[in-house]
């Protein structure tokens, strides 16, 4: 027609489109995220504009609909994404979709073009490329758009922007269908042959859930067809009636998209006019019902006031968002500000199980359950160099920032101040949550210890900045009780006691350790001895060496001091005994000279006649075993 206006793309746009198609090939699914996010923006703009001009939102709910229409014969198909948002005039169609709207985009192009490998898709997948990502899946795109009737524009006309992937031009023309949209934008993607998987509504629903399901502030509906086999006319009619009633109910509530299509489509392959008697014995009939399923029924949980969210809701959200069907052990829902104006809302969860890889492949294990969103749109799970320390990497976090540029290059994102602070913010909240549970819920804290006890100790070893807090959270078995912290130990220490006693031997249980001859006298005299039963315990004790300035003493090593003895008298006693037993000691020294370095009279034994101990600066028997195991 004569009113079709043909435009050449700005050279940059043509270039960008090509790059996008080539470099993001393996991430083509992001098209949906981008288009839903644009639809969301358009609705948001309309909502804000309508604050001044309330008439703008008349006639239809603010929503997003997605419909997949396979071509007959299954050779192709299209996806239609609609919103009832602010729409675009023909000038805006040209300016917004035919030129580079964002300054950040140019920067992005040069980054990707500079990437010789040409397809660092992993990195790029995290970023917003906007409308052009349509061409990842479509060889032709048509955008019909109609701005709302307003005082400034009382009679808008629906226009179409149309472009094919291989063309260097696009067209803008009045929609021959007229103003059928009512208001907003409709994007029709004519799918490429290698993108037909997106006609599958299950796939589409998954993608929305993954990228934008919990993020759009407006309802997102997906058109779904369901074909059922029914036995006879009566059943078909019943199904039709049921469906019609549902539709009517929905329309009443005004929470379903408006649609011209029939609610029920009958498959006429079976001759419906046939008289009852002439029908085959079991006449089967395919009845296809259609419905709009609401993909994001509730507003994102993290955006709500924690006071109004029940425990059950937190658990349900956790189950579906993090795909972990065991209830979480605990959570904390918080908001904050990065200090330079970026506000955020977040929920941090403690899962009730650890992934197997955590201990199996400790070096490779990297968390994938930290979800960074910007204005409710998922951006990335990969914080790069800002990632959480390993000891904290198992938490599941959703964090939604108010304000981060979407179209930024990876380096810019990595250097973003907010991202740099993120790790600190999350670790701080995690520690607070653990401390709170320690104080308020001993039973839950037992569970935490069972699951994360070793990890807390690992953190105390590795994370020097948070060592003090983590050390306080650590628990040990002793000869007197099952769960002792260093602080509890110190409260229980005997008068005059100047050392924190501990004993560890690889592979031994607490029960076995408490029977050890090394601990005999201490235990008999009522001292508490920390029993190191986990490999990480010995590493932690080796790292800390003392707690609140009180040194650790391995009771299997020399240097043990009892607090309740008179050192002078002790020394005299020791000398007397050494004198008395000199012949025995000399005899033992010569007999065992290849096995031991020295033989001394000891005061640490109660029931056992003798013990072989390590030097205070030597290896303990435990470490010696480890050494010989790794040498063989």
Give 35 or 460: the residue with its C-beta nearer to Mg ion. Answer: 35
Give 33 or 477: the residue with its C-beta nearer to Mg ion. Answer: 33
β-pairing, 169-174 vs 159-164, is antiparallel
Give 18 or 493: the residue with its C-beta nearer to ligand ADP. Answer: 18
Site for ligand ADP in 159-188 (CB under 6 A): 185
Minimal distance, residue 108 CB to Mg ion, in Å: 13
Site size for ligand ADP (CB under 6 A): 20
Minimal distance, residue 342 CB to ligand ADP, in Å: 18
Write out 35-59 in H/E/C secondary structure.
HHHHHHHHHHHHHHHCCCCHHHHCC
**328 DSSP assignment:** P
Among 38, 145, 377, 533, binds Mg ion (CB under 5 A): 38
622 marked as binding residue: no
Give 57 or 212: the residue with its C-beta nearer to Mg ion. Answer: 212
Give 101 or 451: the residue with its C-beta nearer to Mg ion. Answer: 101
Say whether 470 sits in a helix, a strand or coil.
helix
492 marked as binding residue: no
Minimal distance, residue 132 CB to ligand ADP, in Å: 6
Determine how many CB atoms are found less than 10 A away from the CB of residue 213: 20
Minimal distance, residue 65 CB to ligand ADP, in Å: 12
Closest C-alpha to 98, from 148, 129, 132, 128: 132
Give 130 or 328: the residue with its C-beta nearer to Mg ion. Answer: 130
Give 66 or 397: the residue with its C-beta nearer to Mg ion. Answer: 66
Query: How far apart are the C-alpha atoms of 533 and 540, rounded to whole Å?
Result: 12
Minimal distance, residue 35 CB to ligand ADP, in Å: 7
Residues 6+ apart with CB under 8 A from 80: 65, 66, 67, 68, 69, 186, 187, 188, 189
Residue 92 in tokens: 């805006």
DSSP E strands: which ranges in 454-549?
477-478, 500-504, 530-532, 546-547
Alpha-carbon distance values, 569 to 134, 564, 565, 572, 575 (Å)? 89, 12, 8, 5, 10
Minimal distance, residue 145 CB to ligand ADP, in Å: 6
Residue 264 contacts which entry, Mg ion, ligand ADP, none (Cβ below 5-8 A, type-dependent): none
Site for ligand ADP in 66-125 (CB under 6 A): 83, 85-88, 96-97, 101-102
83 marked as binding residue: yes
Minimal distance, residue 159 CB to ligand ADP, in Å: 12
What is the number of alpha carbons within 13 Å of residue 145 lying toward its C-beta?
23
Site for ligand ADP in 321-380 (CB under 6 A): none
Query: How far apart are the C-alpha atoms of 184 and 148, rounded to whole Å?
Result: 7
Give the DSSP H or E segment for 401: strand 396-401
Give 78 or 457: the residue with its C-beta nearer to ligand ADP. Answer: 78
b vs e for 255-288, b when ≥16 Cβ sit within 10 Å of the residue's Cβ? ebbebeeebbeeeeeeeeeeeeeeeeeebebebe
Give 130 or 351: the residue with its C-beta nearer to ligand ADP. Answer: 130
Query: How far apart are the C-alpha atoms of 561 and 556, rounded to whole Å?
Result: 12
Minimal distance, residue 23 CB to ligand ADP, in Å: 16
Alpha-carbon distance values, 389 to 38, 313, 353, 394 (Å)? 35, 29, 18, 10
103 marked as binding residue: yes
Query: How far apart are the C-alpha atoms of 49 and 43, rounded to whole Å?
Result: 10
Query: How far apart are the C-alpha atoms of 195 and 212, rounded to whole Å?
Result: 20
Site for ligand ADP in 373-412 (CB under 6 A): 406-407
478 marked as binding residue: no
Give 85 or 90: the residue with its C-beta nearer to ligand ADP. Answer: 85
Site for ligand ADP in 475-534 (CB under 6 A): none
Contact 21, 166 (CB under 8 A): no
DSSP-derived secondary structure for 166-185: T-SEEEEEE-TT-STTSSEE
Question: Closest CB to ligand ADP belongs to which residue?
Answer: 130
**Could you give the string, one character per residue 11-50, with x where binding to ligand ADP holds by CB under 6 A and - elsewhere?**
-----------------------x---xx-xx--------
Give 246 or 375: the residue with its C-beta nearer to ligand ADP. Answer: 375
Query: How far apart are the C-alpha atoms of 87 and 503, rounded to whole Å?
Result: 73
Query: How far apart are the C-alpha atoms of 317 and 332, rounded to whole Å?
Result: 13
- The interface region with Mg ion, picked from 33-41, 240-248, 324-332, 528-536 by CB under 5 A, is 33-41
**Could you give the string, one character per residue 99-138, with x where binding to Mg ion holds by CB under 5 A and - elsewhere?**
-------------------------------x--------
Say whether 146 sits in a helix, a strand or coil.
strand
Write out 61-114 in H/E/C secondary structure.
CCCEEEEEEECCCCCCEEEEEEECCCCCCHHHHHHHHHCCCCHHHHHHHHHHHH
Residue 196 contacts which entry, Mg ion, ligand ADP, none (Cβ below 5-8 A, type-dependent): none
482 marked as binding residue: no
Residue 252 in tokens: 């009443």
Bridge partners of residue 344, in order along the sequence: 336, 401
Site for ligand ADP in 402-461 (CB under 6 A): 406-407
Give 45 or 326: the residue with its C-beta nearer to Mg ion. Answer: 45
Site for ligand ADP in 120-159 (CB under 6 A): 128, 130-131
Minimal distance, residue 160 CB to Mg ion, in Å: 20
Residue 319 contacts which entry, Mg ion, ligand ADP, none (Cβ below 5-8 A, type-dependent): none
CA dihedral 391, 397, 402, 408 (to 10 degrees): 60
Site for ligand ADP in 547-566 (CB under 6 A): none
410 marked as binding residue: yes
Minimal distance, residue 300 CB to ligand ADP, in Å: 20
Closest C-alpha to 377, from 147, 141, 97, 64: 64
Give the DSSP H or E segment for 186: strand 184-191
Minimal distance, residue 96 CB to ligand ADP, in Å: 3
Alpha-carbon distance values, 2 to 5, 10, 158, 526 (Å)? 8, 23, 17, 101
Residue 400 contacts which entry, Mg ion, ligand ADP, none (Cβ below 5-8 A, type-dependent): none
Minimal distance, residue 64 CB to ligand ADP, in Å: 9
Residues of the shown chain interacting with Mg ion in the complex, contacts defined by CB under 5 A: 38, 130
Residues of the shown chain interacting with ligand ADP in the complex, contacts defined by CB under 6 A: 34, 38-39, 41-42, 83, 85-88, 96-97, 101-102, 128, 130-131, 185, 406-407
**Residues in binding site:** 34, 38, 83, 88, 96, 102-104, 185, 410
**Residues in binding site for ATP:** 34, 38, 83, 88, 96, 102-104, 185, 410
């Amino acid at each position: 027609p004569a009113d079709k206006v043909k435009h050449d793309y700005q050279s940059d746009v043509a270039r960008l489109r090509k790059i996008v198609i080539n470099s993001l090939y393996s991430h083509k699914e992001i098209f949906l995220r981008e288009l839903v996010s644009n639809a969301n923006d358009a609705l948001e703009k309309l909502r804000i504009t309508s604050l001044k001009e309330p008439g703008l939102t008349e006639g239809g709910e603010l929503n997003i609909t997605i419909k997949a229409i396979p071509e007959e014969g299954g050779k192709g198909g299209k996806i239609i994404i609609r919103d009832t948002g602010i729409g675009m005039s023909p000038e805006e169609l040209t300016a917004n979709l035919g030129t580079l709207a964002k300054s950040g985009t140019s920067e992005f192009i040069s980054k990707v073009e500079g990437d010789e490998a040409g397809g660092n898709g992993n990195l790029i997948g995290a970023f917003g490329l906007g409308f052009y990502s349509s061409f990842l899946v479509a060889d032709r795109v048509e955008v019909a758009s109609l701005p709302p009737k307003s005082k400034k524009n009382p009679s808008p006309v629906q226009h179409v922007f149309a472009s094919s992937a291989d063309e260097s031009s696009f067209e803008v023309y009045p929609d021959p269908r007229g103003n059928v949209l009512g208001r907003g934008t409709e994007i029709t993607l004519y799918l490429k042959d290698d993108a037909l998987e997106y006609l599958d509504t299950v796939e589409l629903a998954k993608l929305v859930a993954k990228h934008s399901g919990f993020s759009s502030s407006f309802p997102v509906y997906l058109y779904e067809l369901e074909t059922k086999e029914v036995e006879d006319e009566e059943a078909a009619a019943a199904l039709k009636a049921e469906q019609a009633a549902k539709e009517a109910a929905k329309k009443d509530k005004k929470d379903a998209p408006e649609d011209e299509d029939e609610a029920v489509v009958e498959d006429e392959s079976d001759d419906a006019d046939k008289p009852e008697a002439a029908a085959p014995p079991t006449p089967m009939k395919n009845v296809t019902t259609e419905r709009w399923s609401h993909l994001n029924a509730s507003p994102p949980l993290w955006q709500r006031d924690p006071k109004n969210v029940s425990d059950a809701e937190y658990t349900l959200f956790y189950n579906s968002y993090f795909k972990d069907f065991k209830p979480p052990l605990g959570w904390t829902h918080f908001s904050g500000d990065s200090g330079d104006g970026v506000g955020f809302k977040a929920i941090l969860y403690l899962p009730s199980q650890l992934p197997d890889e955590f201990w199996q492949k400790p070096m490779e294990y990297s968390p994938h359950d930290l979800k960074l969103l910007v204005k409710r749109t998922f951006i990335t799970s990969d914080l790069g160099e800002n990632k959480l320390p390993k000891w904290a990497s198992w938490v599941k976090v959703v964090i939604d920032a108010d304000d981060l540029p979407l179209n930024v290059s990876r380096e810019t994102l990595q250097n973003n101040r907010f991202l740099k602070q993120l790790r600190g913010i999350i670790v701080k909240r995690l520690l607070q949550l653990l401390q709170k549970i320690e104080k308020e819920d001993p039973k839950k804290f037992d569970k935490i210890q069972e699951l994360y006890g070793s990890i807390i100790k690992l953190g105390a070893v590795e994370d020097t900045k948070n060592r003090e807090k983590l050390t306080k959270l650590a628990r040990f078995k002793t000869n007197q009780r099952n769960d002792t912290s260093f602080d509890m130990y110190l409260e229980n220490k005997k008068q005059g006691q100047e050392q924190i006693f501990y004993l560890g031997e690889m592979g031994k249980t607490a029960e076995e350790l408490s029977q050890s001859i090394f601990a005999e006298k201490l235990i008999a005299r009522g001292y508490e001895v920390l029993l190191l039963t986990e490999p990480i315990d010995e590493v932690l004790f080796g790292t800390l060496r003392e707690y609140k300035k009180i040194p650790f003493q391995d009771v299997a090593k020399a240097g043990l001091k009892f607090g309740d003895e008179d050192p002078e008298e002790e020394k005299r006693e020791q000398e007397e005994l050494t004198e008395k037993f000199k012949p025995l000691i000399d005899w033992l020294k010569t007999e065992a000279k290849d096995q031991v370095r020295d033989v001394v009279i000891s005061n640490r034994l109660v029931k056992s006649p003798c013990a072989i101990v390590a030097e205070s600066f030597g290896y303990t028997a435990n470490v010696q075993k480890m050494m010989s195991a790794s040498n063989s």
